[in-house]
Every structure is written in structure tokens, then in C-alpha cells.
Amino acid sequence: MASMKTPDRMEKIVSLCKRRGFVFAGSDIYGGLSGTWDYGPLGAELSHNIKELWWKTFVQSREDMYGLQSSLIMPEAVWRASGHLSGFTDPMVECTNCKKRFRADHLEGKNKEQHTCPSCGGKLGEEKVFNLLFPVAMGSTEVSGNMGYLRGEIAQGMFVNFKNILDTYHPTLPFGIAQIGKAFRNEIAPRDFLFRVREFDLMEFEYFIREEEWQEIFEMWRTEMWRWIELVGIKKELVSELEVAPEDRAHYSKRTIDFEFEFPFGKKELYGLAYRTDYDLRAHMSASGVDLQYFDQEKNERFVPHVIEPTFGHGRTMMAVLASAYTEDTLGDEPRVYLAFHPRIAPVKVAVFPLLKNKPELVAKAREVYSLLKKEIPQTVFDDNGNIGKRYRRQDEIGTPFCVTIDFDTLEKEGETVTLRHRDTGEQTRLSVSELISYIKKAIV
């Protein structure tokens, strides 16, 4: 088995993703656009399953969370107030020879010591401050005041809607506002597949609290984040926490823990947990002139709540899930590659086959079982291409946990039993169609 840290392993995952329709380069037929990736049919299903699981876990199954979908474009005033216009920057260096640009804080080894270009070896120029926000000129003329920005983080959508939620739902503290949506960052050097891109989804909530309870609630969300890591099928042993030093924290944070994952290209940030204090609500209160205080009726007190923010990068989740699932083994004396997705996030839950393609009665029965399953479990597919062994391998490679084969026993013996084959072990069991549906439904929750 390949070691967890080889770039080779990364190449294998990227090539499987492309070959089987998980992920394609953005604007592929024009040579690709750096920092963008498009999800194909299987990637779209996987992405959807992860988002749905997150939403169910952190929003729908709780009483203290309010869902939101806020706009992707927000005016300059929001980003000035939040501090992103001045502080959302990375240090950049440009090569005086090949003109390529790099993150100064990402230079390594001799390039860092001698200030030389990692690409051509030329001399690097002066370090400059580079703002990551994408400007958007709105309206037919570019007049000042009409400037907007694609959101660099989705959190500001929650802060500017804080009063709307207070006024419409009258929640009591602590409570959260959650959303899943795109963020845009004009990264200096996009790299490492889905890890560092210019457009990505975030799954995040702002959890509003009383200042004095911040440590306790920070710990509560820390535990919940670990629970999520397990739930989504990321290997826990590949995740570790990093207490971010004060000088490395974002401008709004008083404490940050990064959850780092052992990606095939090294240990890097997967998720973040930050104590944002009352920084954002206060900033928006003073810039907008709107009162964003919370009123505690029992205590007859008015105050600005503090915030704990767990952030889950969606693209990085996709990568960590793929890297955790990618497995090479030997089954029946043959080497194989399979994705050991947890059934709850697998893009295809079950594949139905007739044992033989040229026997109409088998095909008709298989179609019947397929239709039954598809109604109950939409992520079901039908396959009658090639021999049964090849079909199993194809499904293993995309991480389908269950394959169902309709054979002559299904037609001839009583009870309409089918063969259920398990992806990880190759083990096969016989059960009736009704048992099959309840078995798979239980396995995918």
C-alpha cells in the first residue's frame, strides 16, 4: 500500500477523480482556469451528500440554530467595517525574471533563505501586501459608492442579518446562525487540487453567546467538530489540533484552533474554530449606525453578544474524505483500488446488475428491483456492462458500498432473494428484496 504522504498518492487520487467524473479542471476546454474546479456527476453527488449531512447535523437536528443563505456580493461598506478591506491580505513576492507570483510566507528551504524563485531560480522582488477580496463593479457605470466585493468569507452574511433574525425569531442566547455557500479569495498561488482555490464553499455558523461563557462553549464546539470529522468519514488519526499563536491569528480572533489533516502533500489546515469576540457586531454597529445589541428580558440587560465560529471548508472536506477513503488492496488475488466512503456520503449507495445481459428475464427482473430501490434510495444505479467482476471493480473504484445481483435463483426460488455484495470485504449474502431495502436504508443514515 502506498504511504500516506507520497505525492504519488495525490496523483492517483486526482487521476481517479478525473477518470471517474468526480472533478474536472474549471473551463477545461480552454486550458483550465487556475484555482477553479468543476464537480462532475459523482463529485456533485458527494458534495451534495456532505452539505446535506452538515445541514442535518448542525441546523435541522438542533433547536438553537437558524439557517441562512445570504448574498455573494456585498458592498464595500461591509468589508471596510469588518476589517477585510485593510486586513484580508497575504504577503506576495514576484519573480523579477519569470514574473510568477508566490506567497512570501509559503517559501521553503533555499528559496526562503536566498529569496529565489521556486519556479525558475531567478531573484524575487520586494515583498508586497496583496488583498484577497475580488472587486465587483456594479451597475452600468463605475462610480464610486457602487463598488462591491464577492464575499471573502460567509460570516459577514450572518453578522449583517443578526438583527433580522433577532426581530423575526426572538431567539434567546446562546444561538447560532448557519449557512453553506461560496466564498471567493483571489489566492496568489492556487495549488494542491481542491485545497487552495479561488472559489470554494464554506459550511459555517456564528454562535452568539454571553462573553463569560466563551471558554465553555468553545470546548463544546471543539468536541462537536471531532464528532463531525468521524461522521463524515474522515480518518480521525490523520487529524490533529494546532493552537494558533496570537501573531498568526486573524485580526478578529482572541483564540483559534486549526484542525489539521495529513493531506498527501503534507499536514495542512482543514477546519478552524475561532473566538471572534464581539468584534464584528461592534464594527457593524458603529459603521451602519444600527443597534445590534441583544436584549435579555429576564435580566433587563442590553449588550453586544460574543461569537464562537466553527468553520468547515467544503472543498477541503471533499479532499480529506477522498484521501481517507482511497485504498489499494488485493481481493481474490487481484490488486484493486477502492474508495471506502462511509455509506452515508457515498455518491452511489447501491448498484443493481442482472447476472447476464443477454437474458431478457434477468434484465427485466433486475430493472424491476432497480425501480423499487430507486424510489426509496435515489442514489441507486443500474449497470449491465461487461462481466460481473468488472462491474464490481467499477463500483469499488467510485466507492459504492453495495452491489445487488439478480440471478437465476431470484427468478426460480421462492422468496425472490438477491445477492448483496459488500464493497470492503467482497463478502456476499443472500436476502429478499424487502430485507435489502431496509438493510441499505439503515446503513446509509
Contacts with ligand ATP by CB under 6 A lie at 185, 187, 196-197, 200, 202, 269-272, 311, 313, 315-316
32/122 with CB nearer ligand ATP: 32
- Please say whether the beta carbons of 232 and 316 come within 8 A: no
- Measured between alpha carbons, how far is 277 from 110 in angstroms, rounded to an integer? 39
* Least distance between ligand ATP and beta carbon 195 (Å): 6
* Least distance between ligand ATP and beta carbon 197 (Å): 4
* Least distance between ligand ATP and beta carbon 133 (Å): 12
* Least distance between ligand ATP and beta carbon 225 (Å): 11
- Measured between alpha carbons, how far is 180 from 60 in angstroms, rounded to an integer? 13
Burial class (CB in 10 A: 0-12, 13-18, 19+), 81: buried
249/367 with CB nearer ligand ATP: 249
324/410 with CB nearer ligand ATP: 324
252/294 with CB nearer ligand ATP: 252
* Least distance between ligand ATP and beta carbon 347 (Å): 20
199/278 with CB nearer ligand ATP: 199
Residue 33, CA distances (Å) to 26, 162, 191 in order: 5, 36, 12
Which amino acid, one-letter code, is at 394? R
| Long-range contacts, 218-222 (Cβ 8 Å, 24+) | 218/255, 218/273, 218/275, 218/308, 221/273, 221/308, 221/310, 222/257, 222/273
Contacts of 306 (CB under 8 A, 6+ apart): 208, 209, 210, 211, 214, 275, 276, 277, 278
Spatial CA neighbour of 18 closest among 50, 51, 40, 49: 40
* Least distance between ligand ATP and beta carbon 38 (Å): 15
191/282 with CB nearer ligand ATP: 191
315/354 with CB nearer ligand ATP: 315
- Measured between alpha carbons, how far is 173 from 39 in angstroms, rounded to an integer? 38
264/315 with CB nearer ligand ATP: 315
* Least distance between ligand ATP and beta carbon 355 (Å): 44
At what angle are helices 7-19 and 314-325 packed, to 10 degrees? 100
* Least distance between ligand ATP and beta carbon 342 (Å): 20
Closest residue to bound ligand ATP by CB:
313
Contacts of 1 (CB under 8 A, 6+ apart): 327, 328, 329
